[in-house]
Each structure stands twice: as C-alpha cells, then as structure tokens.
Structure 1
Amino acid sequence: MTYTLTVRDHMMVAHSFTGDMFGPAQRLHGATFVVDAAFRAAALDDNGVVVDIGRASDVLRGILSSLTYRNLDDDPRFVGVNTTTERLCAFIAEQLATAARTGTLGRDAGDLHGIAVTLHESHVAWASYELEL
C-alpha cells in the first residue's frame, strides 16, 4: 500500500532544441507547463500526512521560480542538453529529492518511497519522471 500527496503549480519558459527531429521547435519558443509533484510513502507520519502540503508547495514554487520567465538556453544548468519535457521533469524531481533529504519537507526522506514529477505541456501531452528515495 502506498500513500501519495500531490501538489501542483506551473511555469512558463523559453527554450529551443538542437536536432532535426524537433522541426520548428529548433527555433526559440515558449512553453507553459502545469507541474504536478507527487510524494509517496508506505505509511503516514505521526501527523497523518505523507509530507507537509504547505512545505511541499513552497519547495516546488521555489524550484519553478528559478526557471519561470527565463530562456533555458541561457541557463548554465542546461548547457549542452535539450531542455525537453522529460529532462525538465527529472531536473525538478532531483531538486525535490534534495529538499526531502535535507528535511525541508518536514519528514525524513528515508520515510518516503519516491517522488514523481509530471509536466503537462498541454491537455493532450505530458511527461513524467519517477525516482526512488
């Protein structure tokens, strides 16, 4: 049995891709993503939660604020890589995992099974990345 708590936010970025497969997306373009961050645990803590929803929301907002309204092509964290939806999911998940490991979510990371991040690029397309803790 697994409990899941999910918080949602959004971000707006600009970026371009390298490679013929991306067609017109090789040119600079904007993207707006709805971002879901799911935290999973086998048991609830003493307060009856997976993680503190307020802290999870704040941490997600902090991560996304470092990306929002920016051209990711100019971000040194993404030099030499295409900032695809899949890669952005992994980046956000790893940042959330770091927050979990440092106790920022109000619960020991060892009590969590994993984190999953889903970026909804539109109502018909999205990508997810899951990591175990």
Structure 2
Amino acid sequence: MFSVTVRDHMMVAHSFRGEVFGPAQRLHGATFVVDATFRRAELDADGIVVDIGLATGQLGAVLGDLNHRNLDDDPAFAGLNTSTEFLAKVIADRLADRVHEGAFGAGARGLSGISVTLHESHVAWASYDRALRPAG
C-alpha cells in the first residue's frame, strides 16, 4: 500500500459535556496539527498516490471551515462533543466528499483510503481511518 501525507493546522474553541472532561467542560481553545494520509494499492498513471499540491489545498480548505471558530456555535455540532477523535472523523469525511466530487483530480479515483490524525500536543493525538468507495 502506498501513502502520501500532507499537514496543516487549525485553532478552535469548544467545550465538552460530561464529568470525564473535567475542566475542559468550560470553553477552551485547542490548536491541532492535522495530518491527512491518502492511500492506494497502486500508483496512478503519473506514478503518484495523489497530487500533493491538490491534497494540501483541499486539506486547507476543509480546515478553513473550522479554523478560528467556536465549534459550540456551529449548528452541525449542536449537542455533540467535538473531541479530537470526533473532529478527525469530520475532517476525513469532508476530505472523502471532496475526493468523490473530483476536487483532487481524476488521478485520485484510485484512492482506497484516508486517515486523519489530529495532534493535540507532542504526547497525545487521535486518528480516524476510512475507506473510499471506488469512483463511478
């Protein structure tokens, strides 16, 4: 399996519900380093997994919808804990939607999976892996 990873970051504000979160139940900020890994079994006709420039731009666009925002104010997240794990899935799903819409170019049709990792710090991170359905 071949893979390419691109990296960006985002800063958000949010709060959590539930005693397990302790002081994070209060509104607080979080800065995440975000890695998006694209996978495929065989390289495309150009000998690549995905166009790194397009992947970088698309990751930036997805993060731009979340960056510098209070996620508690986003109706899409109403009643949900926007945990690191949850946000990794949101970003992976939004990237997958863009792959299927053609935003990554025709060569991305052969991608088989995406993994998104959000690094909360140098000692803690969470990931979400998802398959991509074949383009058709």
TM range (shorter): over 0.9
Q: Residues 50-129 of structure 1 correspond to what in structure 2 (within 5 A)?
A: 50-107=49-106, 110-129=109-128
Identity %: 62
Return the alpha-carbon distance in structure 1 between the equivalents of residues 7 and 18 of structure 2. Answer: 31
For residues 53-102 of structure 1, the C-alpha deviation after alignment (integer angstroms, 9 at most, x for no partner) is 11111110011111111000001111110000000000000000001111
Q: Which amino acid aligns with 2:4?
A: L
What code does the residue aligned with 2:80 have? V
The letter of the residue matching 1:97 is A
Q: Which runs of 5+ in 1 are unaligned?
A: none
- Aligned pairs for 1:38-53 (under 5 A) are 38-53=37-52
User: Matches of 1:106 and 1:48 in 2, distance apart?
Assistant: 14
Structure 2, unpaired ranges of 5+:
none
Indicate conservation of the 8 Å contact 2:12/2:67, yes or no: yes
Letter in 1 for 2:63: L
SS at match of 2:96: helix
Distance, in Å, in 2 between the alignment partners of 1:129 and 1:107 is: 24
Q: What is aligned with 1:3? A: 2
- Give the whole-Å Cα distance in 2 for the aligned partners of 1:56 and 1:48: 16
Deviation at 1:106, TM superposition (A): 1.4
**Structure 1 Cα separation of the partners of residues 75 and 108 of structure 2:** 28
Contact 2:50 2:108 in 1 (8 A): no
The alignment partner of 1:30 has SS state of: strand
Normalised to the residue count of structure 1, the TM-score between the two structures is 0.96
Task: Tell me how far apart the structure 2 counterparts of residues 20 and 28 of structure 1 sit (CA, whole Å).
Answer: 14
**Which runs of 4 or more aligned residues in structure 1 lie more than 4 Å from their structure 2 counterparts after TM superposition?**
none
Q: CA RMSD in A?
A: 1.0
Are 1:21 and 2:20 an aligned pair?
yes
Q: With the length of structure 2 as denominator, give the TM-score of the two structures.
A: 0.94
